[in-house]
């Protein structure tokens, strides 16, 4: 007899989201940004969500990180249905975290990085100030930053470093699921590869589950276990990475794949790895 399988970390059932737009003097209009999305992500896996601008990726991200409620349908975390109107427990808030494309927008320019990292602990734990600082410094080191960075402000960092800060902040409360909305899209290629490597290491170390949103198929190919292709709020194809890259089935997926320039992230990663091993050897 096989052991009962634990529920997926994240599941959505027939999730829709409508936006009301217009209004006086223009007529009111409803946009259905999500038209019934079903997905499941198991622990330690990465689901990549791809699709053109406006297809509903960020709308989905806000719903699965429990920032926004669906118009209809259900979101389940660890098999438990979430009801935003009833309020979220601390435990539920801890489980799911988001990393945005542009962390600058979500970092307070007057807050030092050490305080940025400690804030989630202040809100959801009863750790003392020295304990919080210790955890913040350990996490800074874990994402490749230095202790002295704790006393600096967001504008004193490069884009890649700021993304490391955003990842560190997301991990402070030991989440199970990270939703990454275009986390490397604003970065140079070599920095993209470094951040992708970091995310991969963190996933292994902490057993994290990722929903990775990207319009860049060369990135998706490297991070995904499963790939979900969206178009105009609908899921048009949802299969394992190997299957979908070997033989995209839906005509839209084929068009999307054909339109993507082949930027060779693999080569950049290999170069970085070689550089790192040379540095270790030296």
Ligand X SMILES: Nc1ncnc2c1ncn2[C@@H]1O[C@H](COP(=O)(O)OP(=O)(O)OP(=O)(O)O)[C@@H](O)[C@H]1O
Least CB distance to ligand X at residue 172 (A): 26
Q: Does the footprint of ligand X cover residue 89 (CB under 6 A)?
A: no
Alpha-carbon distance of 207 to 256, in angstroms, equals 31
Pairwise CA distance, residues 118 & 131, whole Å: 10
Partner whose binding site includes residue 46, from Mg ion, ligand X, none (CB under 5 to 8 Å by kind) = none
Candidate ranges 54-62, 157-165, 194-202, 220-228; the one touching ligand X (CB under 6 A):
54-62
Q: Binding segment for Mg ion among 3-11, 55-63, 107-115, 152-160 (CB under 5 A)? A: 55-63
Distance CA 44, CA 90 (A): 22
Sign of CA dihedral 258, 260, 264, 265: negative
Q: Which of 215, 245, 250, 260 binds ligand X (CB under 6 A)?
A: 215
Q: The tokens of 212 are what?
A: 């990775």
59 touching Mg ion, by CB under 5 A: no
User: d(Cα 273, Cα 265) in Å, to the nearest integer?
Assistant: 12
CB-count burial class (<10 Å; 0-12, 13-18, 19+) for 260: middle
Task: Give dist(CA 219, CA 195) in Å, integer.
Answer: 11
Q: From the CB of 212, what's the least distance to Mg ion, in Å?
A: 13
Among 10, 12, 45, 57, binds ligand X (CB under 6 A): 57
Which of Mg ion, ligand X, none lies near 189, with the C-beta cut-off 5 to 8 A by kind? Answer: none
Interaction of residue 209 with Mg ion, rule CB under 5 A: no
Q: Find out whether 259 and 252 touch, Cβ atoms under 8 Å.
A: no
Contact 188, 25 (CB under 8 A): no
The residues facing 177 across adjacent strands are 96, 209
Q: Does 175 bind ligand X (CB under 6 A)?
A: no
For residues 45 and 105, the answer to whether their CB atoms sit within 8 Å is: no
- Using DSSP's 3-state secondary structure scheme, residue 109 falls into coil
In whole angstroms, how close is the CB of 153 to Mg ion at the nearest point? 27
Q: Is 55 in the site for ligand X (CB under 6 A)?
A: yes
**Interface with Mg ion by CB under 5 A: which range of 51-59, 105-113, 185-193, 234-242?**
51-59
If the CB atoms of residues 58 and 209 are measured against ligand X, the closer one turns out to be 58
Q: How far is the CB of 80 from ligand X (least distance, A)?
A: 25
Contact with ligand X (CB under 6 A): which of 11, 15, 46, 58?
A: 58
Dist. CA 49–CA 231, nearest whole Å = 11
The one segment of 7-15, 40-48, 56-64, 81-89 that binds ligand X by CB under 6 A: 56-64
Binding site for Mg ion (CB under 5 A): 57-58
């Amino acid at each position: 007899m096989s052991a009962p399988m634990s529920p997926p970390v994240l599941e959505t059932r027939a999730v829709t989201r409508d936006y009301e737009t217009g209004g006086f003097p223009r007529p009111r209009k409803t946009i259905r940004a999500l038209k019934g999305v079903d997905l499941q992500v198991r622990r330690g896996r990465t689901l990549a969500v791809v699709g053109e601008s406006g297809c509903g990726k960020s709308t989905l991200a806000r719903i699965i990180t429990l920032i926004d409620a669906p118009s209809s349908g259900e979101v389940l975390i660890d098999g438990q249905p979430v009801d935003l109107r009833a309020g979220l427990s601390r435990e539920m808030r801890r489980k799911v975290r988001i990393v945005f494309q542009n962390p600058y927008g979500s970092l307070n320019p007057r807050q030092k990085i050490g305080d940025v990292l400690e804030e989630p602990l202040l809100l959801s734990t009863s750790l003392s100030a020295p304990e919080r600082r210790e955890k913040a410094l350990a996490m800074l080191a874990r994402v490749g930053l230095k202790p002295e960075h704790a006393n600096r402000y967001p504008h004193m960092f490069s884009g890649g470093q700021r993304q490391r800060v955003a990842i560190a902040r997301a991990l402070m409360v030991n989440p199970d699921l990270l939703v990454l909305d275009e986390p490397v899209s604003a970065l140079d290629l070599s920095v993209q590869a470094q951040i992708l490597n970091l995310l991969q290491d963190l996933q292994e170390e902490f057993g994290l589950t990722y929903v990775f949103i990207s319009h860049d198929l060369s990135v998706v190919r490297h991070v995904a276990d499963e790939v979900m292709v969206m178009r105009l709020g609908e899921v048009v194809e949802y299969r394992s990475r190997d299957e979908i890259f070997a033989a995209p089935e839906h005509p839209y997926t084929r068009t999307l794949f054909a339109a993507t320039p082949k930027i060779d992230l693999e080569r950049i990663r290999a170069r970085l790895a070689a550089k790192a091993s040379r540095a270790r050897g030296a």
